[in-house]
A and B are shown apart, each in its own frame.
Chain A
């Protein structure tokens, strides 16, 4: 079985601060991990993914994420945050050999105040 947990449903910070959205996963083998973003009233867009290799992956819009096998985490980071980063962020996991079935976390709603 595979699962993803995003423990912080709502995150609020001021523009210019550093943001970090937490994601932890449960999977018995090496996972493929993703972050997607959903801006208000819009659909989901791909941000970045980890497959293998370098544990820090860089994505679009200045975001990066760090894969930590030791504590099964894949946290999303950006510094500094901008008000336009306000959105809902989803972490997702694809297990090897699962036929492209992604398991999504419940999402984290980020609000960045100007």
Chain B
């Protein structure tokens, strides 16, 4: 089964702080994603990538940057954190061998609190 590991599990920062969330997948998947989960909104896509050096904008990208340094590693950066970014963040990966409708494999999540 696909393995997606996120770190840290929990993070508390202050308004204006700088935060980096990390995600590593070890299944040679091409696609990686960052979602945020909020009550009343379900999961919303922030950024995604289909390979090292590639970045695609999701549906709620404002206030977030992302970098895909290798096929395995995908980072989400909040350079000036705001309380509205308090959320549960999930990383996911998928294989694009079929070209569509691939299953997403999710990490365990990072709970971020911005005070």
Binding site for B on A (CB under 8 A): 6, 32, 34, 36, 42-46, 49, 51, 90, 92, 94, 96, 99-107
Contacts and interface: CB of A to CB of B under 8 A. Distances in A.
Contact of B45 (A6, A90, A101): A101
A105 B90 CA distance: 16
Contacts of B31: 100
A43 B109 contact: yes
A99 B41 contact: no
Given A36-B104, A43-B90, A104-B42, 6 more contacts: A34-B103, A44-B90, A49-B101, A99-B50, A100-B50, A107-B42
Interface of B: 31, 35, 40-45, 48, 50, 56, 58-59, 90, 92, 94, 96, 100-109
A7 B31 CA distance: 30
B5 to A, nearest CB: 11
B100 A94 contact: yes
B48 A46 contact: no
A55 B34 CA distance: 31
Contacts of B92: 44
B43 A90 contact: yes
Contacts of B109: 43
Contacts of A105: 42
A100 B106 contact: no
B38 to A, nearest CB: 9
B58 A101 contact: yes
B101 A43 contact: no
Contacts of A49: 101, 103
